[in-house]
Amino acid sequence: MFYKASLDTLSKIVTAATALFFLFFAIMAFTSWTGMPYILLLPCAILLATVFGTYLYSPQGYEITLDSIQIVRKINKFHIQRNNILSITPLSADELGRAWRTFGNGGMFGYTGWFRSANQGSMRWFVSQRKNYVCILTTDHKKYILSPDDVEGFIKAATQW
Instruction: Compute the distance between CA of residue 20 and CA of residue 14 in angstroms, rounded to an integer.
Output: 10
Strand order in the sheet with 61-64: 2-4, 61-64, 68-72, 78-81
Q: Please determine, for residue 142, whether its predicted confidence score (pLDDT) is greater than 80.
A: yes
* Range 22-35 average pLDDT: 73
**pTM, rounded to two decimals:** 0.85
pLDDT tens across 89-124, in order?
A: 999 988 988 888 899 888 899 999 999 999 999 999
Look up the CATH architecture of domain 1-161: Roll (2.30)
Cβ atoms of 113 and 103 closer than 8 Å = yes
User: φ, ψ for residue 59 (rounded to 5)?
Assistant: -70, 125
Query: What are the domain boundaries of the chain?
Result: 1-161
Instruction: Compute the distance between CA of residue 12 and CA of residue 8 in angstroms, rounded to an integer.
Output: 6
